[in-house]
Amino acid sequence: MRASRFGRVDAVLRAATGTRFTAAVARIERGGRMCFERAYGATRRGPHAQPVAVDTRFDLASLTKLFVATLALDAVARGRLELDAPAAQWLPQWRGQPHAAITLRDLLAHRSGMDSGADYRTILDRNVVDFTLHAPLLATPGQRVIYSDLGFIALGALLERAGAAALPTLIAARFGRPTLGFRPPARERAAIPATERDGWRGRVQGYVHDEKAYLMGGAGGHAGLFGTAADVAWLTEGYLAPAAGRHASLLPADLACAAVREAAADPTLRRGLGWALKTSDENSCGARFDARSFGHTGFVGTCVWADPHRDLQGVLLTNSVYFGRRDTRDLRAAFYDAIVADLA
């Protein structure tokens, strides 16, 4: 499939370059094959800017959760963890507490009852994992969906204890992708798109934007991974292929398919195991992606959505937070609508 076919996609992203983001890489795959990949813009404004390439690493933000969820599901597939066993087996702080009822499935589906997050200014002198594991619940486990960074911080801690290794080591060992990892070395930072300027750290570039992950040394279950569009597409293909009826070897097919089926209902975004599921045409995958679509977004401007009906996925990595904390649902939806229009 010729990349020139994606004229609408290209127009959407060219129009947004320099105003909605300084840097972007888009990658589209169909049937497990790349059919469009293009880089836009530069790492930042000013004299220190570097041009972006298709293999530029971005702060993946909450797309980290997809890799951590896959790590957990892989442990389930290998018999090391159970989806419906109490997480307190690995997190003894929860024994005898309301948290004792939380299962791995609850954490993956954001139905643990844990708070969504915490203002970093209130935990500057705290151990973030310790804070997380002792934070009071907002709801009974299993009662309702609360999209939770804290839940995935707890999940990261669980995986470290079950795997007897630090999260960066577990990620590197399981995925083995040289462009994917936490804490990029200093020599690589200038080539990574900058994100927000804040009063605490100045312009953030080459180290994690998420404040809680930053306080954790750059590696958390909820955020901290840096990677390329190809890294995200590779992971997504591990779920799209079996959902579309093709073979994939990332996880057993039944487990991969279960991860992209509804595990928790929510009027905004239904939840699978790690993945968000399309609920309405107001979601960031736009109106044209099928109702069975699954994906995820990241705060700094990253996203991926997959459409099993079309055997199609689109990855869009940007640094949109560079221009402020403006909602980018419209830009994302325009990108995904343009993909379908270009393929029509």
Distance CA 176, CA 170 (A): 10
Q: What is the tens place of the pLDDT at every residue in 241-299?
A: 999 999 988 999 999 999 999 999 988 889 999 999 999 999 999 999 999 999 999 99
Amino acid code (one letter) for 41: G
pLDDT of 1: 55
pLDDT of 3: 60
pLDDT of 269: 82
Whether the full predicted model's pTM is greater than 0.85, yes or no, is yes
Using left for φ > 0, alpha for ψ between -120 and 50, and beta otherwise, residue 272 falls in: beta
CA distances from 105 to 28, 100, 230, 240 (A): 30, 13, 28, 20
pLDDT of 339: 98
- Angle subtended at Cα 206 by Cα 125 and Cα 170, rounded to the nearest 5 degrees: 75
Which residues of the chain, if any, have pLDDT below 70? 1-3
Walk me through the domains of the chain, giving residue ranges and CATH numbers: 3-64+181-343 (3.40.710.10), 67-174 (no CATH)
- Supply 307's token pair: 């459409």
- Supply 41's token pair: 């813009």
For residue 233, how many C-alpha atoms fall within 13 Å in the half-sphere facing its CB?
Answer: 25
pLDDT of 266: 85
pLDDT of 275: 98
pLDDT of 2: 63
Q: What is the tens place of the pLDDT at every residue in 219-238?
A: 999 999 999 999 999 999 99
